[in-house]
Chains A and B, each alone.
Chain A
Amino acid sequence: MLQIPCPWCGIRDESEFSYGGEAHITRPLNSENLTDEEWADYLFMRKNTRGAFLEQWQHAQGCRRWFNIQRDTVSYKISASYKVGEQPPQGMGNEK
């Protein structure tokens, strides 16, 4: 079981959280002008990185707030935890 650091509550067991997948996906503002391919890219295509990955969790059975962490998807080691709206760790921008 993962030990997940909630930025508000500290480290808690994974079973208190629910998963939200890839972080920093921005909803396109001009959706009426998008092609079907661009819309599909936003809706369905995912990074699914092998290695350092930025992802969203919700502390469903705690403070109920959403936040982001940086986790290695091979070793499962968590190296950063930050609030929604805050910048990801250095060099981990939301480039596609």
Chain B
Amino acid sequence: MNMSKYSIFSLAKQALNFHEGWGKVWRNPEPKKHYDVIIIGGGGHGLATAYYLAKNHGVTNVAVLEKGYIGGGNTGRNTTIVRSNYLWDESAHLYEKSMKLWENLSQDLNFNVMFSQRGVYNLGHSLQDMRDIQRRVNANRLNGIDGEIVDADELKRRIPILNTSRHSRYPVLGASFQPRGGTARHDAVAWGFARGADSLGVDIIQQCEVSGFIRENDRIAGVETNRGNIGAGKVGIVVAGNSSVLADLAGFRLPVTSHPLQALVSEPIKPVLNTVVMSNAVHGYISQSDKGDLVVGAGIDSYNGYGQRGSYTVIENALAAIKELFPVFSRVRMNRQWGGIVDTTPDACPIIGESPVKGVYINCGWGTGGFKATPGSGYVFAHTLAKDQPHELNQAFSLQRFSTGRLIDEHGAAGVAH
């Protein structure tokens, strides 16, 4: 397809045509009979995988099969926080790779993903919180990841509307701060990767639900879908909350449970919060979008659920926490509320690598915090699919770690849903 490059000149030219001349951003092809690689799931991670397969490995006979529309899952439902300040070396390196890709992503994709490095604060409310923050920030710095420790007075100076009173129920004692953290526009991430992959020859096929796997001689040969059977040399499963459903169809088990995770946005208000604030202890996180709405994230519902909605108590708790931290927001009205389905693992770390079925690879378990990993996840998973072996950055994240016992406990740094 002849896709135009976006630039100041194309913008000016289209402006003269009252913006009616913009072409389609990706094709809408019929599925072919056979692909070298089929990616199941057209969220950010699946689309990024397809993009890097084509771009970095020259594998272009690739299809992304999406049962709904691309980005309609967690990609389009998350609160868009990006950071890389994880505790353990394995995760720190993986998320930091992603951060580096974010820093150049709009240029690389020629698509504005609105990556905004406005900084991310993780609040501490007890002496133990503060000790954990010190440990994490020091570990981050040893890994070359930016981080600083900020005390309550300095926090008050930087974020005047934050309640740092000693008399609140859970007083704010300080925070960790990652200056390079921030937010990005979630839809644009899906669209940018889709456009990039499509222009390199990848077929993006929407309204195409995978309902079974076809095997030949103990190896994967293709998938069954509502649009017919499609042959494949290799298959990558990247379906977030539905990972266990697909694993079940393929015939293996996962240490994953699916839970609703909810978020809300307020009515748009004038700029009042120019950074991201999250709190593990009282469990809430908040930022303000460029449109002016406050974006608030809640916790997961304790029960297993696939219904893309959760219980009211959970968002009530999150809003109570936000109101305690920012009393000035107590009368802001909430506009919309929704849920996504996140795939959590016992060690709060993803699973990226081969599955027990030959030719089938899985990338899942990102739980409440995989948006920030979108480019990095696609980067290492594309490598794994192309080379039939993991990239050094995802080696430690194999499914086998649950048998060897080599878990990577990130509950501390991933503890808040983000």
Which residues of A line the B interface, CB within 8 A?
A: 1-2, 14-15, 18-19, 21-22, 36-37, 39-41, 43-50, 53, 55, 71, 73-76
Tell me, in angstroms, the Cα distance from A41 to B255 when the chains sit together. Answer: 8
CB 8 Å contact bits of B291-310 with A (1 = contact, 0 = none): 00000000000111111000
Q: Are B313 and A40 in contact (CB under 8 A)?
A: no
The 8 Å CB contact of B304, one of A1, A37, A45, A55, is A55
Contacts of B242 in A (CB 8 A): 50
Contacts of B305 in A (CB 8 A): 73-74, 76
Main secondary structure of the interface of A (DSSP, over half): mixed
Q: Are A21 and B257 in contact (CB under 8 A)?
A: yes
Q: Are A21 and B304 in contact (CB under 8 A)?
A: yes
B346 contacts partner chain A, Cβ-Cβ < 8 Å: yes
Shortest CB distance A66–B (Å): 15
Would A36 and B404 be within 8 Å (CB), given that A46-B257, A50-B306, A76-B305 are in contact?
A: yes
Contacts of A53 in B (CB 8 A): 304
Would A44 and B255 be within 8 Å (CB), given that A14-B311, A14-B313 are in contact?
A: yes
Q: Are A48 and B257 in contact (CB under 8 A)?
A: yes
Could you pull out 12 A-B pairs where Cβ atoms are within 8 angstroms? Answer: A1-B311, A18-B302, A19-B302, A22-B304, A36-B405, A37-B403, A43-B402, A45-B255, A46-B256, A47-B244, A53-B304, A55-B303
Shortest CB distance B349–A (Å): 12
Shortest CB distance A77–B (Å): 10
Shortest CB distance B76–A (Å): 20
Contacts of B307 in A (CB 8 A): 73-76
Q: Are B254 and A48 in contact (CB under 8 A)?
A: yes
Q: Are A50 and B244 in contact (CB under 8 A)?
A: yes
**Size of B's binding interface in residues, CB under 8 A:** 23
Q: Are A15 and B313 in contact (CB under 8 A)?
A: yes
Which residues of B line the A interface, CB within 8 A?
A: 242, 244-245, 253-258, 302-307, 311-313, 346, 402-405
Contacts of B405 in A (CB 8 A): 36
Q: Which residue of A lies closest to B302 (CB)?
A: A19
Q: Are B256 and A2 in contact (CB under 8 A)?
A: no
Tell me, in angstroms, the Cα distance from A7 to B302 when the chains sit together. Answer: 20
Q: Which residue of A lies closest to B304 (CB)?
A: A73
Q: Are A40 and B402 in contact (CB under 8 A)?
A: yes
Which one of A15, A40, A49 has the highest number of Cβ atoms from chain B below 10 Å of its Cβ? A40
Tell me, in angstroms, the Cα distance from A63 to B279 when the chains sit together. Answer: 33
Contacts of A45 in B (CB 8 A): 253-255, 402
Apart from A43-B402, A74-B306, list 8 A-B contacts with CB within 8 A.
A21-B304, A36-B404, A44-B255, A45-B402, A48-B254, A50-B242, A71-B303, A74-B305
Shortest CB distance A13–B (Å): 8
Tell me, in angstroms, the Cα distance from A35 to B253 when the chains sit together. Answer: 16
Contacts of A43 in B (CB 8 A): 402
Shortest CB distance A34–B (Å): 11
